[in-house]
Structure formats: C-alpha cells, structure tokens
Amino acid sequence: MFEMLHDPMQLFSFAGALMILIAYAGHQFGRMSPRSAMYNLLNAIGSAILGYVALHPFKLGFVILEFAWVAISLWAMLRQQAADANS
C-alpha cells in the first residue's frame, strides 16, 4: 500500500480527495458553511485535481462527475460573492 504513495499521481489524487473530504466534514460537523468561499474552493480545487487524474487513464464517469463538481462549486462561490457584494 505505501508503495503507491511514491507515485506522484496517487499523491495528487490523495490531495484532491482530502480537500473534498475536509469540506464535507467541515460542513457536517458545523465548522464550515456550504456558502463559504473556503468550502467551495476546497470542493472546486479537489474536484479539479480528481478530474485531471480521471483523464489519465480516461474514465468517462469520473471525468463527468468531477468536472461537474468543479463547475457547480465555482458557480456557488461566485453566486455567494455576488450576494455578499449586494448586501
């Protein structure tokens, strides 16, 4: 198992998954609002990393899932910034 950690792509995917899990756990434990920039940024970056990893080798289902996750996270972050600017 630890041999996988020497593969840069494995470390990259671990970092992406960890970012998403930190956001998820932060929300579930009441430490992070799903409307916060940090929550959406962690989701967007983590999903972008996992989406990139899903391209090599190409896994259609994961590519669609991860890049949709990126788009939704960025949209939510921009929507919240616009709402904050108008208040």
Q: Which domain holds residue 29?
A: 12-86
The pTM of the full predicted model, rounded to 2 decimals, is 0.85
Give the pLDDT band (50/70/90) at residue 50.
very high
Between 4 and 46, residue with greater pLDDT: 46
β partners of residue 55: 58
pLDDT exceeds cutoff 80 at 41: yes
Q: How many CB atoms lie within 10 A of CB 82?
A: 10
74 CB-contact burial (10 Å; exposed 0-12 / middle 13-18 / buried 19+): middle
Instruction: Please give the pLDDT value at position 49.
Output: 96
pLDDT exceeds cutoff 90 at 14: yes
Q: What is the pLDDT of residues 3-13, one digit of tens each?
A: 766 888 999 99
Structural domain count of the chain: 1
Record the tokens describing residue 75, joined without a space: 């949209």
**Mean pLDDT, range 28-36, rounded to an integer:** 95
CA nearest 80: which of 23, 38, 36? 36
Residue 3 belongs to some domain of the structure: no
Spatial separation of the C-alpha atoms in residues 18 and 36, rounded to whole Å: 18
Torsion of CA 79, 82, 83, 87, to 10 degrees: 170
Residue 57 belongs to some domain of the structure: yes
Residue 5 belongs to some domain of the structure: no
Residue 2 belongs to some domain of the structure: no
**Mean pLDDT, range 12-41, rounded to an integer:** 95
